Structure formats: C-alpha cells, structure tokens
Amino acid sequence: MHRFYLYQLYLIPMLLAAVLSLRVFIEKWPKPYRIFSALLFATLVIELGSIFWSTDWYKMSGYAQTNAWIYNAGHLIRLALLVWFYHDMMTSERVKKAIRWIGALALLSLIGIYIFYTHTSHVAYFLLHSFPAILFALFYFRQLLKNDEVIRLEKDPGVWISIGVFIYNMANLPVFSFIDYLNKTNLKTASATLYYNDALNILSYTLFLIAFLCKPQPKPLPSSFSSPHY
Amino acid sequence: MQTPTETTALVILITTLLILFVCAAGVYFLFLYQKKRFRHQREVLELREAFGQTLLQSKLEIQEQTLDHISKELHANISHLVSLININLSEILPQTPQATRENILETKSLAKQLMGELKALSASLNTDHIMHIGFAKAFENELNRVTKAKKYQLTAVKNGSEYRLPAEHEIILYRLCQEVLNNVVKYSKATQLSATIDYDRDCFRLRIADNGIGFNPAEALEESGSRKSTGLINMRKRASLIHAEFGLTSQPDQGTTVEITIAHPKILNA
C-alpha cells in the first residue's frame, strides 16, 4: 500500500498544475495555452482512469486488470494535443508545416500500433510520443533564439512548458527504449524505473506549474513611444 | 561479477544521467545566452534613447537660437521701423488737412499698438529675457498675451512660495506651456482657461485646463502619423528632457487638462 501511494505522488503536482492552468480560461490567455491546459486535464483523466481501472473498474467491466490500453490511448490523445499546442506556438510557417507532418506521421503510426497492441505496453508508444515532443520543444527553443524580440525566459510560460516536455522525454528516452528488454530480463530493475519515471513526472509537472504561475508577455512597444518595459 | 542484465541496467542509468546532465546544461546555456541577448538589446535601446535625447536637445537648441534671432530682429529692426513710421506720422500731422488728420491719428494709434505687440512677442521669444525674468513671470505674461483679446475668462492660481528652476528647465517648461496655450487658441474653442502652479518643494505641478471642445487623446496619437502632426509626441519628449511627467486628459465636449509634474525639482533659490 505504501509503495502504491509512493507511485501516485506525481498526481499532486499534476493536479495542482491542471487546476492552476484554469487561469488561462479566466484571464483569456492565447489559444495554445488553453490547449496545453486541456492536455493537462486529459493527462489527469487518463491517469485517474487507469488507476481506477486497475483497482476497481475492471471487475465491473469483466475485462483484464491491465490498464495498458488506457495509457496507450492516452499517448494518442496527449500527442495530438501536444502537436496542436506547438503548432500554434510557432510563428514560422515552415516549422508549422514540419510539425504538421511529424505530428501526422507519429499519430498515424500510433493508431496503427494501437490496433495491433491495444492491451500491451510497447516501446514504440513511448518512442513515437517522445521523439516528436523533444523535436517540438527544440523547435520552440530555436524560435526563441532566432526571434528579434528578446523576452525574459523566466517569465515566459512557453519556456517552462518546453523545458518540462524536453527534460521529461529526453531523460526517459534510455529507460523507455529498454523497458521491454528490462521487463523480460530483470523485472526488479524494470519496476525500479517506475520511481525514476515518477521523479521525472514530478519535475515536469512542477515546471508546468511554474509555467502557469507566469503570464504571457506582451509585445514590446516601439522605443519611440516608451522606454523598454522589461 | 556483474550479470549482463545488471550491466545493461548500469549502462541505462549512466546514459540517463548523462542525458539529464546534457539537458540541464542545454537549458542553462539557453538562459545564459538569452540573458546576454537581453542585456545587449537593452543597451541598444538605451543608446537609441540617448541618441534621441541628444537629437532633441540639439533641435531645441537650434530652435531657441532661431527664436532668439527672430526676437532680436523684431526688437532691433522692425520695432525701429515702426518707431520711424510713428515719428514720420507725427511730423506730417501738423501739415495735414483736417479731413485726413483723423486717419493719421488712427494710423499712429495702430502703429503704437503694433509696437506693443511686437515688444510682447519679442519678449516671449527671447530666451535671455525669459531666463532673466524667470518662468513664473514669463508664463504670466504669456497668459496675459493670450487672454488680451478677451476671448477667455482666465483664472490663474499660484500655490506655495515661488522658486526658480535651472534656466534650461525653465525655458523648456515655458516652451511647453506656449505650445499648450497655442493649442488652446487654435483648437479648443474654449471660453474659460485656468492655470494653476503648485510650488511644492517635493513636486512642481503645473495645470492648464480649458472648457473647450476637447478631443480623444488616443485617437489623436494614432492619427498623428497620418496627419504628420507630432505635437503630442513632441510635448511628451520635451517633458522627458527635464524629467517631467506630461499628463493629458481630454474627452470630446468636456475640455482638456494638461498637467506637467516635476518630481523632486532642482530648486535654485532657497
């Protein structure tokens, strides 16, 4: 039981981030942030759904206890929302087009894999979710560096979101790549990676929480009208 | 002896740690680089601002020199010519028949009036004169000049004990007031004009208000580009030169109020 609660610790920052993200609707933040808030809520629903499924709901439905099918479907939904978020965050048409193509390709592949491996955890799910996410975050950093308008990174929600997405997916990449192998050869190590994944989850959701504590920065005025507002 | 699985786990762990380290370093350098860019941009902005200020200051200096020159010309040459006209008229007056005498007297009176106007105009343009008499007196003269036509009902209030500001500040302040009063005469269609000066030692405050037709300041600022009119922007910039805050409140049909505030003014005389 103690172990169970320890695994669910990441739900606290996730819940806090999701609740705080509601301010994007109240304060009418730009559309991408509303999409990301929807992504947080979708993740929360997927997580809670999979927990309840494996503890209770599977008995009512008469299906197997494994909640892998929920997580697998979750990958699809989360990736679709992430593609939408980064697509709207970008200003360059070329990058938007690249995101559309990468996103479509990854989503179609995920659908294909979901048809064949609905109830099993498969490394392809993680890789098809992580690679585009890392690429999109890198696209965003590139946009920041190429932009003529210099913004304060620590005050930009997009930066914190992208750092969260980037670190979580990058740091999980080696573990996810070998998770199937570890599951087959060393179950103890494979189980131990769950703690590591939880730690990364806590880190990334804390970063999302910070993102929603910031506020999108307005465009700086021309220098003839006022001094810089930074 | 480690088993192959343990070795794999160790490799995964090391790779993960390495990636984490690389990610953290990448994020750190991103912040560092952006901080440098931010600092550089701020420096560029400051330089641009300083250049703008210098340019404005030079423009004002040239303007002051031109006004000074015009003032001296008005005083020395044109006033002199008007005086000559007056003397000539006085000389021909005794030989003039009775019928035209009245016309000559009228012309003499007009020449005298012109002389007075020229003197007042010359004084209001002369920088040395303004510096000599001080802002308060110069502003009072300007108000009298504007309200001479009896078009406006003037209310002038002075609060606190009067003090002098640095000469260049007084000149800029005076030119600002001239522009404000000029706008009142040109556009406001007002019947009442009020001017209040608060000589607070912590804050100098000047308020000019009229009950005219008013306008929408935001619209005026937006339209200033298309109409090539830079009055409002110029006034704001001039005010910034003396570290003054230029406030303008106006609404259609509700008059206009201009407030110039200098926080912690440099007071010359105690």
Mutate to test the interface with A, among B2, B27, B56, B236 (most CBs of A within 10 A): B27
Distance from CA of B81 to the nearest CA of A (A): 46
Would the pLDDT of A227 be above 70?
A: no
Of A141, A181, A189, the CB nearest to B30: A141
ipTM (interface pTM) = 0.71
Q: Which residues of chain B does A189 touch, with a Cβ-Cβ cutoff of 8 Å?
A: 5-6, 9
Task: Determine the distance in angstroms separating the CA of B267 from the nearest CA of chain A, rounded to an integer.
Answer: 27
Q: Is 50 exceeded by the pLDDT of residue A230?
A: no
| A126, A139, A143, A186: best to mutate for the B interface, most B CBs within 10 A | A186
Q: Hey, are the CB atoms on B19 and A171 less than 8 Å from each other?
A: yes
Residue contact A230–B42, C-beta within 8 A:
yes
Determine, for residues A167 and B45 on separate chains, whether the beta-carbon distance falls below 8 Å: no
> Can you tell me the mean pLDDT for B226-243?
77
The alpha carbon of residue A74 is apart from the nearest alpha carbon of chain B, in Å, by 24
Over the stretch B65-117, which tens digit does the pLDDT of each residue have? Answer: 888 888 888 887 888 888 888 888 888 888 888 888 888 888 988 988 888 88
For the stretch A123-148, pLDDT in tens is 888 888 999 999 999 999 999 888 87
pLDDT in tens, A33-55: 999 999 999 999 998 888 888 77
Rounded CA-CA distance B158/B31 in Å is: 54
Where residue A62 falls among pLDDT bands split at 50, 70, 90?
Answer: low
Measure A136 CA to nearest chain B CA, in Å.
15
- The pLDDT of B13-23, averaged and rounded, is 86
pTM for the structure as a whole: 0.61
Q: Per-residue pLDDT averaged across B42-51, rounded? A: 88
Q: Do B8 and A182 touch (CB under 8 A)?
A: yes
pLDDT the model gives residue B98: 82
In the predicted structure, residue A104 carries a pLDDT above the cut 70: yes
B163 vs A182, more confident: B163
Taking all residues of chain A, what is their mean pLDDT, rounded to a whole number? 83
* pLDDT over threshold 50, residue A226: no
Residues of A at the B interface (Cβ-Cβ below 8 Å)? 141, 144-145, 150-154, 163, 166-167, 170-171, 173-175, 178, 181-182, 185-186, 189, 196, 223-224, 227-228, 230
pLDDT, residue B129, reads 84
pLDDT band at B233 (very low <50, low <70, confident <90, very high): confident
pLDDT score of B6 more than 80 = no
- CB atoms A171 and B30 under 8 Å: no
For the ranges A209-223, B164-178, B252-266, which has the lowest average pLDDT?
A209-223
Sorting pLDDT into bands at 50, 70 and 90, what band is B3?
low
HEC profile of chain A: CHHHHHHHHHHHHHHHHHHHCCHHHHCCCCHHHHHHHHHHHHHHHHHHHHHHHHHHHHHHHCCCCCCHHHHHHHHHHHHHHHHHHHHHHCCCHHHHHHHHHHHHHHHHHHHHHHHHCCCCCCHHHHHHHHHHHHHHHHHHHHHHHHCCCCCCHHHCHHHHHHHHHHHHHHHHHHHHHHHHHHHHHCHHHHHHHHHHHHHHHHHHHHHHHHHHHCCCCCCCCCCCCCCCCC
